[in-house]
Every structure is written in C-alpha cells, then in structure tokens.
Structure 1
Amino acid sequence: MRLQRWLGLVVSAFLALCAPLMTVEGQQRIPTNLYEIVPTDYTIHEPPPLLDGKPVPVEFSVSVKNIPNLDELKQELSMELNLRIYWVDQRLQVGPYFEAFPNNTYMNANPALLNKIWIPDVYTDYTKSVSAPKILAAPASLRIYPNTTVRYSARITMQFACPMDFRKYPADTQSCDMSLESYAFTRDKIYFSWRPEGASINIAHRLAHFDFDFHFNNDKENVNFPSGSYPAITLTVLLHRRISYHMLQTYIPSLMFVIVSWLSFLVPPESVPGRMAICMTTLLTLTAMFAAVRQSTPSVSYVKGLDIWMVVCIFFVFLTLVEYTLVLRLTKNLKKNQSPPTSAKKPEPSTNSKASPMEPQMQPAKNGEEASAFHKFTGDVVSGPPSTESPRTCLTACIGGDGPDCWRNPTKRGILILETISCICIPGAFILFNFFYWPFLLTNSDVPVNSAA
C-alpha cells in the first residue's frame, strides 16, 4: 500500500510537469514564456540573415517632443525625443503566438528580451550624454510583428555637440547634426534609413530666439574607414535666429547715438563744452554698449556681423570728434595770426574835433552785429556799444551771407570747407555703409527655414 501511494505521487508529479508540453491534436502549444520565441541555436553575435541577398534594413523614426536647452557659449543642443528602431529577424519563432491570437497585430514584449536577441549597434556621433526620464522603469517598449519585424521605442534626452558659425550673428542660421551610425557592421550586413513617416514634431512652444526645422538625410557617405564603409543617417536641426531682439536691444539704440553725435554739427564751434560733451558722451556710451554685447555673445576668433556694426558706429562718432578737434586747431591758428602784437602801443584818442591827417579815422561799422561777431571770432577788441543779439562765428556769418568775406582768409576758408564737408560726408558715408551691411547680414545661402512651433 505504501509503495502504491508513492508511485501515485510520482506519476501525478510527472503528469503535472509534462502538462504544459502536451498539445491538443491539431493545435500547437502557445508559448507561455516569451523567451521561448528565441530558438535554442540562436546567437546574438550575428545579425539576421540577408533578405533576398540584400543587407538587413534597419529603419528609424523620431518624434521630437522638446528642445529644452541650446547653449551657444558651449555650442551644445539638448533634444527630448521618442526614438523608434525597426528591423527584421526571421529567426524568431512567433508563429504559434499569432496563430493562437489571430486578432493581435503585434506581440508586446518586455524590453528585457533585448538581452536575448540581436539588436543593432546604434550610436550617435558627437554625443555628450543620453538619459531617460526614468521613474520606476525606463520609458521603453518592444513589439514583435507577425512578419518578425521588431520595433523598439524609447523616450530619451540627448545632449550633443553642435559646431556653430557666428559670422552673420545675429542673423545666423545654425545647423546641428544628430548622426545615427553603426559601429561594428558594415553596409554589406545592415542598412540604415528613415521610415517614410520620417518624424513628427510635437513641440508646443516656440524657442526664445530661434525658428527651427528638421531635415533627414538617408545616407551619410563620409563614414568610411580602412576597415570598411559603415551605414549612417543624419537628423539635421536647422535653427534660424530671429533678429528682432537685437534690433531693439542693440541696433536701434546704437543708431540713435550715432545720429546724436551728428547734432554737434549744429552747435557753433566756439561752444566747446557743449560740442565736446555730445561727442564724448556718445563715444563712451557706444563703447560701454559694445563691451556689454560681447559679454553676452559667444567668444570666437573671427569677426561677427554685430561686431562690424558696433565698430563702425564707434568709428563714425570718433570721426565727428576728430573733425571738431581740427576745427578747434584751425580756430586757434586764426586767432594767433590776427591778434595784435603785445608791444604795440595803442594810439591815444585825439581831443581835436578833426583827426590828424596821418591817423586813420575809425569808420563806424555798418552792422554792429557783424563786427562784434567777427572780432569775437578773431580775438580783437572793439569799442562801441554791445550788440543786443548773440554773437555769431565767421562760419555762420558766411553761410548767412551777411558777414565779412571769409573766403579771403585761407584759415577761415578751411574751417568753412571742413565743417560743410563733414556734416554732409560723414552721415552720407554711414548711410552708404548701411546699403552694403544689411544685404550682407540678411542674405543667407543656407537651406530655407520654416517656422515649426
């Protein structure tokens, strides 16, 4: 009796162990463990067999969710996206599962199965970090379709280097490439390409200073090494800077300061404090503005478009200051040449009603205002009642046409010519500079960018 009892227990245990392996006639057993879809002779070291003698296609698609950071000083770009990878592995035995569940379009597997099957060795060039927003588990999914197509999808945040060219800053267009390449398998084994749907852009906000667009390159030809040619594809992020910020912060204020420096041409040359204050104030303000702009822009060894504008603005204010310095020098020479010698004795006024025939009789000025203005300019002292109007320089008198003939004196004529040419040529040269500067800055030969926001 005891022996029979032990034999019954052994038979029951054997039947319980063999029950999952038993199949109903005409049916295949449903794999209860997903690892059973991997055959025993499967190797993860070799890619799937060629399809019709061609390399195994590995396809990609992305869904860009966010561009959280663009560091121009470090030339780095961060991008949050869903990356999907598709490949075909005919060695997987998924037939019994889909025969048992014909309504299912795919098998949802645990991403841990990737440790048991072959996966493409995809890496990104110039990448600094790749992370996942993990809470309990990494945000990833693995699907297997009836035709043995494997789809892996994951949410990742990628930070990669983006070499930038700031020659046309702040109207520049930056191109950042995210390259997906294979490290071990050459083009005769696998082939990389973007899926027809390419990518979807799901960014719900606009970048602070840029409009963006995405371009996809199916084949990157320059990944060639002595060991062979490796497959690679590229996602290019085009960033076109909006110039409106710098127009309000830099261009318009600096332009107004240059125009203020030209107002010094309306100030009489003898008003030294007023005219010098205008020139020096605008020059120092533009210099301080240029220093502040350079601190907030990337440091590069070449000249940027904004640097050209600021240097030219400072140069034209400097020209205005140099012009006034020359006017002061010519005015000083004019006073020195026309001042009477100090050793000469002034003649005493005669008490006689008639002047001596040897003495020149002083003729009254026809216009007291003109005489007063002229002698004030030349430094002579004139007697007589003071003028009721404000004194004018020789330049203003000549322009008005009612003063002494300034053209007879070479120094006075030089002052008049210098002031006239400066107030016309300096603004004209700045306007001519703008005709060349803005087409150069705004003309971009890169791929046109559409605002995707």
Structure 2
Amino acid sequence: MTIGAEIASSQKNCSRSVCIPINYSLLDPKVIPVQVNVQLQLRQILGLDLDQRTVTVEVFTNLYWKDWWVETLSNKATTIDEQVRDEVRLIDWHVQDLRNITHSLPVHDSGLIATPSLDGTGSIISISTEATVVFNCEMNFNLFPFNKIKCDYVITSTDYDSGKLMFQANWSQIVNAHKLEFQLESDYEVQFDPILPKNLSASAVHRDHSSYHSAIGFQIYLKYRPTEALLLYYLPALILVLAAHLSFLIKPDGAPTRISLVTLSLTAVMNQFNTLNQISPKGGKGPTAAAIYLLTCVFSNCFCLGLNILTFRFKNDPVKFQNVNFYSALTSSISFLLFNLIYWPVILVSI
C-alpha cells in the first residue's frame, strides 16, 4: 500500500457506528482467500414440477465473513445503513442450476449487519435472507414407481475462484427444519444431506476451464412411495395373468369358457397398461419399470390365448390334448416366473 493509500485509508466515512475508509473500493482484503461461513436451512419444499424437472423450496441463508477495513464503533451488532451499505464489499454468490428466485427478503432491515471482531481488527459482516428458490433437479423416471429424484441445492461464486473466496461450514450449519413441510409427503419419502465445502470445476460455472470455484449446499432425495402403484397396477396385473394361466385347468368341453377367461384377462391388463401410461411421468429414456411389467403381463396373456387356441386343435384326441395342454400351461407359467425372477432382483438392486 502506498503512503497516499495509507492516508486515504485512515480517513473514514462513518454512519450509524460503522466506518469504512474513503478509498474502501480500492483496498483489497488483507487475507486471501476470504473465508465465508455459511448457514443454510431448508424450511419447506413448496412444489415439484416433473414436466419442468424443477423443485421449489424455501431456504434461509446466512453468510458471514471478516472485513478488515470495516470498523464498528459499537460493541454490539449494528445494522449497516444505506450511506455505507452500498460501498461495503459483498460476497458474490449464486445458486447452481437456478430457474427462478421469488420472495427474496432480508431478515434484517438493510440485510447487512456489522459485528466487532473478537481480535479487535475489522468487523464480521453478515447477511441473511429468506427466499423461495426454483432450481433444476436430476430426474430419471425409468424406474417409476421405484424412482428417486435427486436435487442438489449448491451455492458458489461466479466471479471469484477458490483462490480468492472459500465457503466453509460444518454439519450443524446446514440443516433442514425440524417440521419440514412438503405437500407431496404422502407420495414421496424425503431425505436431506448436507453438501460440505467442495471445489467445482470452472466449466460447471462458466466457460473458463482454468480454475476451480468453492461450493456448498445440500442434497434432497425424494423417493417415490410405490405402495399405491403396487396395489393399483402390479397386483391386479399379476392376478389377471394367474387367472389366464388357470384357464388350462378347464376341461376340453369348456372351450368357450377358457377363451373368454383369457380374453377378458387380456383386455383388463391392456386397460391397466393404458391407464398407467396416462398417469406415469414422461421424459425417461425408454419405458418405465411399471410399463415393462404390465407390458410383459399383456404379452403373457397373449401367449396364453395363443396356446389355448393351439390346444383346442387337438380336442378330438384326448391324449394329445392332455399332453399339449400340460406343456402349454408349463411353458407359459415358467416363462412368466422367469421374468419375475429377473425383474424383481434388478429393481431391488437399482433402488
């Protein structure tokens, strides 16, 4: 610092017990990187948009850091008023994958508080806000109704890399509300995990690949509760397939009954499949897990119908009819059983 700068820095601009040098804007922080302490609290999950792949949350954010050039004349926390506030150096931060911020309100009147530093040099500057934030989530619907939605709420700096600014916090500073409100709680199980300080590649922030940026936040996992889908779609489809397989127990003279039973089962499963397609989330790569199961049930019932038609070609020969009927029933049952033995372990491993 030059002699002129030292003289200028000794001249103060004061307002409401807070003073800064008149050449404040020309002064660099005395310690780099600036250590920014972060407190985050997830208050509410206000909404989930599956079409837009976004989640809306209410978040309380508190940032505080040491500024060696800000002097607090009072021995207690002081609100920085407009005369000084516009000149105080603020921390540049933003939310990754942000769509929109609404109802962003400072907790205090001006949003900025200055507190004397314990070591007597400079002040601790803090800013607290409550905001409703809409941001992008990672959604993969291929496992519906066993799918999970992963939402990373991450704050970072655009202008300052980790060599100039570092976010820091511990587990107790990144929390969710004790009574977290979520309108879709009956449909989703919520899991909250802090994201402690880490470095993001600059390519995740902007096009500059030469640096890393400090980041911090939390993760929300929304696990869909599959009970309703299991009861409304899986269980009825399974019963209808079993009913079709039971048709092989009907005697040869009951051909109309056998064909009617399989045809009705097939029609009902197809209706189940069409209804599921209307209510299941769209946008995954390929069919959902539920759609695959119901589609297999449709094919299984079609297979039963074809085998029944084949069997009745031998109705005039009791021996051949009995053999063909037995192996038809065995083939259709084993094929559907093998599908289930493959399907459910894959689902359980994936979730």
Asked if these proteins are the same fold (TM beyond 0.5), I'd say: yes
**AA in 1 matched with 2:74:** Y
Distance 1:166 1:113, change over 3 A: farther
SS of match in other structure, 1:177: strand
Q: State, as a whole percentage, how many aligned pairs show the same letter.
A: 20
Correspondence for 1:117 among 81, 85, 88: 88
Correspondence for 1:42 among 24, 47, 51: 24
Contact map agreement 1:121 1:183 (CA 8 A) in 2:
yes
| CA positional deviation for 1:323 | 0.4
Q: What CA deviation, in whole Å up to 9, does each residue of 1:317-343 have, x standing for no partner?
A: 111101011123344xxxxxxxxxxxx
| CA positional deviation for 1:238 | 1.6
Distance 1:133 1:181 in 2: 18
Correspondence for 1:169 among 144, 167, 171: 144
SS of match in other structure, 1:166: coil
Correspondence for 1:240 among 223, 242, 245: 223
Is structure 2 residue 10 aligned with structure 1 residue 59? no
| CA positional deviation for 1:111 | 8.0
SS of match in other structure, 2:273: helix
Is structure 2 residue 333 aligned with structure 1 residue 427? yes
Gaps of 5+ in 2: 1-12, 118-122
| CA positional deviation for 1:227 | 5.3
Distance 1:176 1:302, change over 3 A: same
Is structure 2 residue 171 aligned with structure 1 residue 189? no
Distance 1:304 1:281 in 2: 25
| CA positional deviation for 1:196 | 4.8
| CA positional deviation for 1:249 | 1.7
Distance 2:180 2:83 in 1: 33
Contact map agreement 1:66 1:80 (CA 8 A) in 2:
yes
Structure scoring higher RCO (CA < 8 A, sep ≥ 6) equals 2
Distance 1:279 1:145 in 2: 78
| CA positional deviation for 1:153 | 1.0
Aligned to 1:344: none
Q: How many residue pairs were aligned?
A: 323
Is structure 2 residue 252 aligned with structure 1 residue 269? yes
Contact map agreement 2:146 2:223 (CA 8 A) in 1:
yes
| CA positional deviation for 1:130 | 0.5
Contact map agreement 2:244 2:261 (CA 8 A) in 1:
yes
**AA in 1 matched with 2:94:** Y
Q: TM-score, normalised by structure 1?
A: 0.66
Is structure 2 residue 348 aligned with structure 1 residue 442? yes
Distance 1:125 1:205 in 2: 23
Q: What CA deviation, in whole Å up to 9, does each residue of 1:62-94 have, x standing for no partner?
A: 111111111223211111111111221111011
RMSD (Å) for aligned C-alpha atoms: 2.5
Distance 1:79 1:231, change over 3 A: same
Aligned to 2:5: none
Is structure 2 residue 282 aligned with structure 1 residue 312? no
Contact map agreement 1:50 1:189 (CA 8 A) in 2:
no
Correspondence for 1:322 among 285, 306, 309: 306
Distance 1:261 1:208 in 2: 34
Contact map agreement 1:39 1:93 (CA 8 A) in 2:
no
| CA positional deviation for 1:223 | 2.8
Correspondence for 1:219 among 198, 204, 215: 198
| CA positional deviation for 1:270 | 3.4
Aligned to 1:16: none
SS of match in other structure, 1:158: strand
Aligned to 1:303: 287
1:391-410 equivalences under 5 Å are 395=318, 406=319
SS of match in other structure, 1:67: strand
| CA positional deviation for 1:33 | 3.0
Contact map agreement 2:62 2:126 (CA 8 A) in 1:
yes
**AA in 1 matched with 2:172:** E
Aligned to 1:127: 98
Distance 1:80 1:274 in 2: 60
Distance 1:292 1:92 in 2: 64
Aligned to 2:265: 282
Aligned to 2:53: 75
**AA in 2 matched with 1:85:** L
Q: What CA deviation, in whole Å up to 9, does each residue of 1:73-118 have, x standing for no partner?
A: 3211111111111221111011x211xxxxx3x2244589642311
Distance 2:209 2:150 in 1: 29
Distance 1:50 1:248, change over 3 A: farther
Contact map agreement 1:132 1:139 (CA 8 A) in 2:
no
Q: TM-score, normalised by structure 2?
A: 0.83
Contact map agreement 1:219 1:234 (CA 8 A) in 2:
no
Is structure 2 residue 69 aligned with structure 1 residue 91? yes
Distance 1:265 1:312 in 2: 19
Contact map agreement 1:62 1:83 (CA 8 A) in 2:
yes
Distance 1:32 1:40 in 2: 9
Aligned to 2:187: 209
The structure in which a higher percent of residues are strand is: 2
Distance 1:266 1:221, change over 3 A: same
Gaps of 5+ in 1: 1-30, 99-103, 332-377, 379-393, 396-405, 407-412, 446-453
Distance 1:253 1:246 in 2: 10
Structure with larger Rg? 1
